[in-house]
Amino acid sequence: MKSYLLTLWNTFDPIYYNFTRLHHVADHEHNKTIFRVRLTKYKGKTVVLKDGTTIHKNDLLLKIHLHNVRMIRELKQVKSEMKKAILLYHMIRNDLQCLSRYVEKHPRRYAIKAIIGITALHKGTERLGFETFSLQNRYYRLVKQLTFSLIGFIANTANHNVPVYLFMSTNQLLDYSKPT
């Protein structure tokens, strides 16, 4: 059943991709990363990040989406939940460098205040530089929770976390592209 759902999801993913105006982020060799992104105007309450960046309603943000079908396929053979978490952490950390370069080259770079995402997989995200904030609208939170439960079912992972917003200021993100 899960295999069938994954195949069905993979079939409809290109349609979803087109309707949501997402763009793939590629690395320097033009390989697609785990991130798909689009510009969005923030519609929530004012948020102040630790580095002082203040995000107001209608500020321009870069919304990040994990390419879930790809992620599920790459993690499919890994049995241990701990190993899956570690592998996913490293995939995201490495791809944040590509995302940083994507923003550096973006024509609206100076208007983009931060990146934003919504996830139920937020354990360890602060080590990557993200900050978490609660979803205030309970109906939206419920819809996201149901969506992430379905993804978890297909991915064969047990995740009962409440979805949250992830934010990272553009300045923080651009630190990923600096040599270490």
Q: What is the DSSP string of 63-120?
A: EEEE-HHHHHHHHTT---HHHHHHHHHHHHHHHHHHHHHHHHH-TTGGGEEEEEEEES
Average pLDDT, the chain: 82
- The per-residue pLDDT for range 37-85, each reduced to its tens digit, is 999 999 989 999 999 999 999 999 999 988 766 777 777 787 887 888 8
pLDDT category at 98 given cuts 50, 70, 90 is very high
On the question of pLDDT at 12 being above 80, the answer is no
On the question of pLDDT at 165 being above 60, the answer is: yes
pTM above 0.85, yes or no: no
Domain ranges of the chain: 2-177
pLDDT given at position 85: 81
